[in-house]
Amino acid sequence: MDRYPFDAEYLRRLRDGDGPTVEHFVAYFTERLTIKLWRRGLTRSKIDDAIQETFTRVFAKLRSPNGIVSPQSFGAFVFSVCNNYLFEVYRLEKNQDQLDDSCFELPAPEPGVEEMLLRGERGQKALQTLKLLKPKEGEILRALFIDEMSKDEVCARYDINRTYLRVVLHRAIARFRFLFPKG
Protein backbone atom coordinates (compact mmCIF):
# COMPACT_ATOMS: atom_id res chain seq x y z
CA MET A 1 0.00 0.00 0.00
CA ASP A 2 1.17 3.44 -0.83
CA ARG A 3 1.64 5.95 1.95
CA TYR A 4 -0.05 9.28 1.60
CA PRO A 5 2.19 12.30 2.21
CA PHE A 6 0.30 14.25 4.87
CA ASP A 7 1.11 17.94 5.19
CA ALA A 8 -0.09 20.98 7.15
CA GLU A 9 -2.50 21.97 4.37
CA TYR A 10 -4.14 18.51 4.43
CA LEU A 11 -4.60 18.74 8.22
CA ARG A 12 -6.05 22.26 7.90
CA ARG A 13 -8.60 21.08 5.31
CA LEU A 14 -9.42 18.07 7.50
CA ARG A 15 -9.84 20.31 10.57
CA ASP A 16 -12.12 22.65 8.58
CA GLY A 17 -14.28 19.71 7.44
CA ASP A 18 -13.48 19.92 3.72
CA GLY A 19 -15.69 17.21 2.12
CA PRO A 20 -13.20 15.54 -0.26
CA THR A 21 -10.44 15.65 2.36
CA VAL A 22 -12.65 14.06 5.03
CA GLU A 23 -13.79 11.40 2.54
CA HIS A 24 -10.16 10.67 1.63
CA PHE A 25 -9.18 10.43 5.31
CA VAL A 26 -12.05 8.06 6.14
CA ALA A 27 -11.48 5.83 3.11
CA TYR A 28 -7.69 5.80 3.50
CA PHE A 29 -7.64 4.90 7.19
CA THR A 30 -10.70 2.65 7.17
CA GLU A 31 -8.94 0.33 4.74
CA ARG A 32 -5.64 0.32 6.65
CA LEU A 33 -7.16 0.04 10.13
CA THR A 34 -9.49 -2.76 9.00
CA ILE A 35 -6.53 -4.80 7.79
CA LYS A 36 -4.57 -4.10 10.96
CA LEU A 37 -7.47 -5.02 13.25
CA TRP A 38 -8.52 -8.03 11.21
CA ARG A 39 -4.99 -9.44 11.59
CA ARG A 40 -5.45 -9.15 15.35
CA GLY A 41 -8.47 -11.44 15.10
CA LEU A 42 -11.18 -8.95 15.98
CA THR A 43 -14.76 -9.47 14.88
CA ARG A 44 -16.33 -7.19 12.30
CA SER A 45 -18.37 -5.32 14.91
CA LYS A 46 -15.30 -4.76 17.12
CA ILE A 47 -13.34 -3.55 14.09
CA ASP A 48 -16.10 -1.06 13.27
CA ASP A 49 -16.22 0.13 16.88
CA ALA A 50 -12.44 0.59 17.00
CA ILE A 51 -12.35 2.53 13.73
CA GLN A 52 -15.24 4.78 14.73
CA GLU A 53 -13.68 5.52 18.13
CA THR A 54 -10.29 6.16 16.48
CA PHE A 55 -11.81 8.68 14.07
CA THR A 56 -13.70 10.39 16.90
CA ARG A 57 -10.52 10.79 18.93
CA VAL A 58 -8.44 11.94 15.95
CA PHE A 59 -10.97 14.63 15.01
CA ALA A 60 -11.15 15.76 18.64
CA LYS A 61 -7.37 16.10 18.73
CA LEU A 62 -7.34 17.92 15.37
CA ARG A 63 -9.80 20.49 16.69
CA SER A 64 -8.15 20.92 20.09
CA PRO A 65 -6.02 24.04 20.72
CA ASN A 66 -2.70 22.18 20.80
CA GLY A 67 -3.80 19.95 17.87
CA ILE A 68 -1.36 17.83 15.92
CA VAL A 69 2.17 19.22 15.87
CA SER A 70 3.82 17.10 13.20
CA PRO A 71 1.78 16.63 9.97
CA GLN A 72 4.31 14.20 8.46
CA SER A 73 3.68 11.70 11.29
CA PHE A 74 -0.11 12.01 11.11
CA GLY A 75 -0.50 8.40 9.91
CA ALA A 76 1.51 7.08 12.85
CA PHE A 77 -0.60 9.25 15.16
CA VAL A 78 -3.85 7.70 13.83
CA PHE A 79 -2.49 4.17 14.32
CA SER A 80 -1.30 4.97 17.85
CA VAL A 81 -4.75 6.33 18.73
CA CYS A 82 -6.23 3.04 17.51
CA ASN A 83 -3.70 1.04 19.55
CA ASN A 84 -4.47 3.06 22.67
CA TYR A 85 -8.19 2.42 22.22
CA LEU A 86 -7.55 -1.32 21.88
CA PHE A 87 -5.42 -1.34 25.03
CA GLU A 88 -8.25 0.37 26.91
CA VAL A 89 -10.73 -2.22 25.66
CA TYR A 90 -8.44 -5.12 26.57
CA ARG A 91 -7.84 -3.65 30.02
CA LEU A 92 -11.58 -3.28 30.62
CA GLU A 93 -12.29 -6.82 29.43
CA LYS A 94 -9.50 -8.18 31.62
CA ASN A 95 -10.74 -6.36 34.72
CA GLN A 96 -14.33 -7.50 34.34
CA ASP A 97 -15.21 -10.46 36.52
CA GLN A 98 -15.92 -13.55 34.52
CA LEU A 99 -19.08 -15.31 35.63
CA ASP A 100 -18.97 -19.02 36.19
CA ASP A 101 -21.85 -21.38 35.39
CA SER A 102 -23.09 -21.48 38.98
CA CYS A 103 -24.21 -17.84 38.89
CA PHE A 104 -27.12 -18.77 36.65
CA GLU A 105 -28.54 -21.06 39.33
CA LEU A 106 -29.90 -18.33 41.54
CA PRO A 107 -32.13 -19.48 44.37
CA ALA A 108 -35.78 -18.66 43.93
CA PRO A 109 -36.99 -15.90 46.22
CA GLU A 110 -39.08 -17.03 49.14
CA PRO A 111 -42.77 -16.65 48.32
CA GLY A 112 -44.84 -14.24 50.34
CA VAL A 113 -47.92 -15.20 52.32
CA GLU A 114 -50.29 -14.27 49.49
CA GLU A 115 -48.29 -16.29 46.98
CA MET A 116 -48.29 -19.31 49.28
CA LEU A 117 -52.08 -19.06 49.72
CA LEU A 118 -52.56 -18.79 45.96
CA ARG A 119 -50.27 -21.76 45.39
CA GLY A 120 -52.23 -23.72 47.97
CA GLU A 121 -55.54 -22.88 46.30
CA ARG A 122 -54.22 -23.70 42.85
CA GLY A 123 -52.65 -26.88 44.19
CA GLN A 124 -56.00 -27.99 45.60
CA LYS A 125 -57.70 -27.20 42.29
CA ALA A 126 -54.97 -29.12 40.44
CA LEU A 127 -55.41 -32.19 42.68
CA GLN A 128 -59.18 -32.06 42.17
CA THR A 129 -58.68 -31.80 38.41
CA LEU A 130 -56.31 -34.80 38.43
CA LYS A 131 -59.09 -36.88 40.01
CA LEU A 132 -61.37 -36.00 37.07
CA LEU A 133 -58.93 -37.48 34.53
CA LYS A 134 -58.74 -41.12 33.53
CA PRO A 135 -56.93 -42.95 36.35
CA LYS A 136 -53.83 -43.81 34.31
CA GLU A 137 -53.50 -40.25 32.93
CA GLY A 138 -53.90 -38.73 36.40
CA GLU A 139 -51.34 -41.12 37.88
CA ILE A 140 -48.80 -40.36 35.15
CA LEU A 141 -49.21 -36.59 35.54
CA ARG A 142 -48.90 -36.91 39.32
CA ALA A 143 -45.79 -39.07 38.99
CA LEU A 144 -44.08 -36.67 36.58
CA PHE A 145 -45.09 -33.28 37.94
CA ILE A 146 -45.82 -33.78 41.64
CA ASP A 147 -43.61 -36.74 42.59
CA GLU A 148 -40.97 -35.52 40.07
CA MET A 149 -40.16 -38.99 38.79
CA SER A 150 -38.05 -39.30 35.65
CA LYS A 151 -39.73 -40.30 32.41
CA ASP A 152 -37.79 -43.55 32.39
CA GLU A 153 -39.13 -44.42 35.86
CA VAL A 154 -42.69 -43.64 34.76
CA CYS A 155 -42.27 -45.79 31.65
CA ALA A 156 -41.01 -48.70 33.75
CA ARG A 157 -43.80 -48.33 36.35
CA TYR A 158 -46.61 -48.27 33.76
CA ASP A 159 -44.93 -50.63 31.28
CA ILE A 160 -44.98 -48.19 28.34
CA ASN A 161 -42.30 -46.88 26.00
CA ARG A 162 -41.17 -43.26 25.70
CA THR A 163 -43.07 -42.68 22.46
CA TYR A 164 -46.36 -43.81 23.97
CA LEU A 165 -45.62 -41.80 27.13
CA ARG A 166 -45.41 -38.72 24.94
CA VAL A 167 -48.82 -39.47 23.45
CA VAL A 168 -50.36 -40.09 26.89
CA LEU A 169 -48.82 -36.88 28.25
CA HIS A 170 -50.09 -34.84 25.33
CA ARG A 171 -53.63 -36.11 25.79
CA ALA A 172 -53.55 -35.85 29.57
CA ILE A 173 -52.24 -32.29 29.57
CA ALA A 174 -54.83 -31.24 26.99
CA ARG A 175 -57.62 -32.81 29.05
CA PHE A 176 -56.22 -31.29 32.27
CA ARG A 177 -56.17 -27.79 30.74
CA PHE A 178 -59.74 -28.24 29.54
CA LEU A 179 -60.97 -29.37 32.99
CA PHE A 180 -58.91 -27.03 35.17
CA PRO A 181 -61.13 -24.21 36.53
CA LYS A 182 -60.41 -20.84 34.95
CA GLY A 183 -59.95 -17.72 37.07
Which of 33-42, 58-67, 106-115 has the lowest average pLDDT?
A: 106-115
Predicted confidence (pLDDT) per residue in 46-81, tens digit: 999 999 999 999 999 998 888 888 889 999 999 999
Q: What angle do CA 34, 37, 39 make, to 5 degrees?
A: 105
Query: Is the residue at 171 inside a domain?
Result: yes
Based on the domain organization, do 160 and 89 belong to the same domain?
no
Average predicted confidence (pLDDT) for the chain: 85
Instruction: Give the model confidence (pLDDT) of 134-150 as tens digits.
Output: 888 889 988 888 888 89
21 in a domain, yes or no? yes
Task: For residue 64, tell me if it sits in a domain.
Answer: yes
pLDDT, position 58? 94
Output the pLDDT for position 118: 60
Separation between Cα atoms, residue 27 and residue 4, nearest integer Å: 12
| pLDDT score, position 104 | 59
For residue 122, being part of any structural domain is answered with no
Contact 172, 166 (CB under 8 A): no
Region 96-119 average pLDDT:
61
- Note whether 21 and 85 are same-domain residues: yes
Answer whether residue 120 is part of any domain: no
pLDDT bracket for residue 125 (50, 70, 90): confident
Whether 102 has a pLDDT exceeding 60, the answer reads no
Q: Which domain holds residue 141?
A: 129-179
Domain count, the chain: 2
Question: Within this chain, do residues 29 and 85 fall inside the same structural domain, yes or no?
Answer: yes
Residue 151 belongs to domain with CATH number: 1.10.10.10
**% of the chain beyond a pLDDT of 70:** 85
Q: What is the crossing angle of helices 19-39 and 8-16, to 10°? A: 100
CA atoms of 59 and 30, how far apart (whole Å):
14
